[in-house]
Amino acid sequence: MNKLAVAAAALLVAVLLALPGLVGSMAEARVRERVAALDASPTASAEVKSFERGWFRSTARIELRLVPDNVAQLADLAANLGPFAALPIVIDFAHGPIAVLNGVHFGWSKMVARADPAAPGITELQQTLGVPYLFEFRGRSHYSGGVSFDADAPSFNLPIDEALLTFSGGTLAGTFAQSHLDADARIAAVELTSPTAKFSLRGVSATADNELRSRYVMPGRASLSIESISAGESTTPTFEATNLEFQSDVALDAAAELLEMSVNYGVDSIRIEDNLITAAALGMTMRDVDVATLEAYSAAAADAAAAGADPAALTAALGPHLERALKAGPSLTVDPLRFRYADEPFEGRIEITTNVQRLPPAGTLDLENPLLILGLVNADADVRLTKVLAADLATLAARLQLGADASIPADQLEYMAEAQSGLMLTMLVGQGVLVEDGEGYRSSVQFRDGTVTLNGNLLPFGL
């Protein structure tokens, strides 16, 4: 019995001693695999410069090029950025099952990535900013197979000539398991001030709760919010925006063949000089989008952006996919569409659906015939606005048009703009484009089977 216990203990020790080497080998293979995938993408390029693998610890050095070499259109930008077009990264790994690196972690591995201080310019930049590192990304892989991570970029003040750049610091935290990403990022403030101008960005927060099914299809929810943005003179900003919000929701049907995506934008207020817009909201919902078509189009567009593509060849390649997508009957709804200008409300709604009955026989869809493509959709659009807002918008449009003539004095310009706006609204009402509705106007347009109806009146043209 004692011999059996000793043998079992010896086997356990042997396994524990052998596991770190195996984990290190797997870590190197995974790093090289992910760097190769990143290098093949159109968004960035990367290269493993070295990988020093030990039994319990390993170190990888990677060069990440934020301006990819494989995108010809960005060659000039990369040349102008010089050494800043590439970011050298060093990653330290500790191999489990008991990983020791900045503390003890019971899991398969632990890693810390940061800008490589041994690379030219990195240490000098850190000293200039007064930070211990430019950023630090920390990851931990667990026995269950998932990964948890957190990261931060320290705060700094950077004088630039007579200006000062202030960064409050940023944080990132989340988990990644079985292709599911759950992450949260925050930046408190970024400011650039000079004796004559100032830019301020405050309260940036982003979240992601998505399943990464492919590079282009990621069901789930993502959001971005910004408390405030301002820019302009140091004492009086000419642009201000508060409480900007973005949210997207993506879902797949049971067969994972059709996608539904909702995107919503909102902002409490936007001020540009003396023009103030409040309570603005824009929502777009796309339904019954064919997943295979979306992935094919996205991949083709990425390839075209990276290396350039013959438009005719691109159209021919996408033809069968688009035909399949139209058969699914995709639709787009814009709702809500609203804002207040000078505290006067505007509301609208747009819906575009596919007219599946007008699809041509299989294999005969001609993408080079825009009238044919246009005839495959139906559309509805409705808008409502107050008469005061209509007059303000018409005056603004006339002012912008007349403002190109510098010879017109300011007082005459305003008088002429107001006069033209009144004539414009009278004409639009007389032609039936706008319908008076109490203290406001409304307008409704329908496009059906190639014919256009405006406020219930069939227009004498169509497809």
- pTM for this one? 0.83
Q: Apex CA 63: angle with CA 61 and CA 64, to 5°? A: 130
Asked if the model's pLDDT at residue 433 lies above 70, the reply is yes
d(CA 138, CA 171): 11
- In the chain, the amino acid numbered 37 is A
- In the chain, the amino acid numbered 200 is S
- In the chain, the amino acid numbered 288 is D
d(CA 453, CA 460): 9
Candidates 459, 457, 455, 460; CA nearest to 441 is: 455
For 171-216, the pLDDT digits (tens) are 999 999 989 999 999 999 999 999 999 999 999 999 999 998 888 8
Asked if the model's pLDDT at residue 7 lies above 60, the reply is no
Question: Residue ranges per domain, the chain?
Answer: 1-154
**pLDDT of res. 315:** 67
**pLDDT of res. 262:** 97
Contacts of 192 (CB under 8 A, 6+ apart): 163, 164, 165, 166, 198, 199, 200
**pLDDT of res. 325:** 87
d(CA 132, CA 201): 24
d(CA 445, CA 455): 6
The torsion of the CA quartet 29, 31, 32, 34, rounded to 10 degrees, works out to: 120
For the chain, the farthest-separated pair of C-alpha atoms sits apart, in whole angstroms, at 107
Where residue 284 falls among pLDDT bands split at 50, 70, 90? very high
Average pLDDT, stretch 92-117? Answer: 83
Asked if the model's pLDDT at residue 314 lies above 50, the reply is yes
**pLDDT of res. 53:** 83
| Cα dihedral 70, 71, 75, 80 sign | negative
**pLDDT of res. 10:** 47
**pLDDT of res. 343:** 93
**pLDDT of res. 235:** 79
Residue pair 276/268 in contact by the 8 Å Cβ criterion: no
For 326-384, the pLDDT digits (tens) are 889 999 999 999 999 989 999 999 999 998 888 888 777 777 777 777 888 999 999 99
**pLDDT of res. 48:** 84
First to last CA, the chain: 91
- Residue 419, token pair as written in the block: 């006069």
**pLDDT of res. 12:** 39
Where residue 18 falls among pLDDT bands split at 50, 70, 90? very low
| Cα dihedral 282, 286, 292, 296 sign | negative
- Residue 63, token pair as written in the block: 């060069």
Q: Classify each residue of 328-345 as buried b or exposed e, where b means 16 or more C-beta atoms within 10 Å of its C-beta.
A: bebbbbebebbbbbeebb
d(CA 332, CA 376): 14
d(CA 347, CA 394): 17
For 20-57, the pLDDT digits (tens) are 556 567 677 777 887 777 777 666 778 888 888 887 78
d(CA 421, CA 441): 15
Strand partners, 88: 63
For 222-280, the pLDDT digits (tens) are 999 999 999 998 778 899 999 999 999 999 999 999 999 999 999 999 999 888 999 99
The alpha-helical segments, DSSP class H, found in 108-158 are 122-129
Q: Apex CA 61: angle with CA 55 and CA 65, to 5°? A: 155
| pLDDT, averaged across the chain | 84
Strand partners, 283: 264
Average pLDDT, stretch 388-416? Answer: 80
Q: 167: number of CA atoms within 13 Å, CB side? A: 16
Residue pair 400/454 in contact by the 8 Å Cβ criterion: no
**By mean pLDDT, which of 10-19, 29-38, 415-424 is the weakest?**
10-19
**pLDDT of res. 17:** 46
**pLDDT of res. 103:** 81
d(CA 76, CA 395): 43
Residue pair 240/233 in contact by the 8 Å Cβ criterion: no
